[in-house]
Amino acid sequence: MKKRVAVVGAGGHTGGFVVAELQRRGMTPIPCGRATDLDPALRNADAVINCAGPFAATAVRVIESAIRVGIPYLDVTAEVEVVTDTFADYAGAGIPIVPAAAFYGGLGDLLATSAMGDWPAADEVTIAYALSGWRPTPGTRATGRVSAQRRNGRRIAYTGHRLRFREGDAPRTEWTFPDPIGTRPVVGEVTMADSATIPTHLFTADIRTYMSSNALDDLHAPDPSGPVAVDERRRSAQTFLVEVVVRSGDTQRRAVASGRDIYAVTAPLVIEAAARILAGTGDAAGVASVGARFDAPDFLVSLTPDQLTLG
């Protein structure tokens, strides 16, 4: 029997990729709009994926409905505060809950877990993002505004074993990415959801984050046009590379992943997580990230080369 997966926010940009990927994998999507009476819709589903941002306005509603119906909940939020709230508020939930199973949150978590390997702890984890450009969706822009309001304009960084607020401008420096990208200007302390997922299961005092400065310039540019599809899968021409460096003393371990379109790659990430849970792998009740629930190296290599390239 085909697995049925409800998709909240199916009409959005990322939601469209999720619906298409479910169909490609032989699963049945159940599109749900923001105004849908969720309980009746979710009773016909085996799991629910929340793609409706800002998640500060949707996550609790969808999680509570999933708990009442008794099906796994996954989302693709990049909102750090939503991830931390979900871990704090639903640790004892009777269903599997997987926040941030997406490019921001899930991918960095999987790479860090893979790089950490058998180490019980690390002095620091560094996550560096190189994006060829970034034409954010309206949902990304709305999410950014909500997060900025919640922080009163402050930044956040994970240091000294916890998230802390930062004042002033973010630091700027350079980072040498693997070839062919090389050394690029980057902005530091661009804290994404992986700084909330990683500390829930990997022991490290500090998580350092960098983003190529051209991507942040695009993010804050006034152009509201969003991503432009250039292939039959509706992917944009945007490329990305994520490098994670885990350090213990003088020893470093690295993990790298690259691909096309940060919104498009979220779909195989979250659906692979859902498929594994529905097959009985990593399906423990409560809140856990993708890196904690699954064998991270195996999860990453299960994604096809046209979705994600490792190394």
Query: Splitting the chain (311 residues) into consecutive groups of 10 residues, what average pLDDT does each group show?
Result: 93 96 97 88 97 95 98 97 98 98 98 98 98 91 84 92 93 95 96 97 98 89 86 96 98 98 98 98 98 98 93 87
Q: Residue 241 has what pLDDT?
A: 98
Domain with CATH 3.30.360 in the chain: 107-264
Supply the pLDDT for residue 177.
97
What's residue 150's pLDDT?
Answer: 85
At residue 33, the pLDDT reads: 84
Name the DSSP class of 295: -
Q: Domain 107-264, what architecture?
A: 2-Layer Sandwich (3.30)
* Residue of 279, 273, 278, 281 lying closest to 302 (CA atoms): 273
Q: Check if the beta carbon of residue 109 is closer than 8 Å to that of residue 194.
A: yes
- pLDDT computed for residue 34 by the predictor: 79
Tell me how many degrees the CA angle 245-87-29 measures, rounded to the nearest 5: 90
Residues 53, 14: Cα–Cα separation, whole Å: 10
Helix extents (H) in 98-198: 108-116, 138-150, 194-197
Phi and psi at 189, nearest 5°, equal 55, 40
Q: What pLDDT is attached to residue 10?
A: 96
Residue with tokens 């999507």: 29
Quote the pTM value: 0.96
CB-CB neighbours of 78 under 10 Å: 25
**4-103+265-310: which CATH architecture?**
3-Layer(aba) Sandwich (3.40)
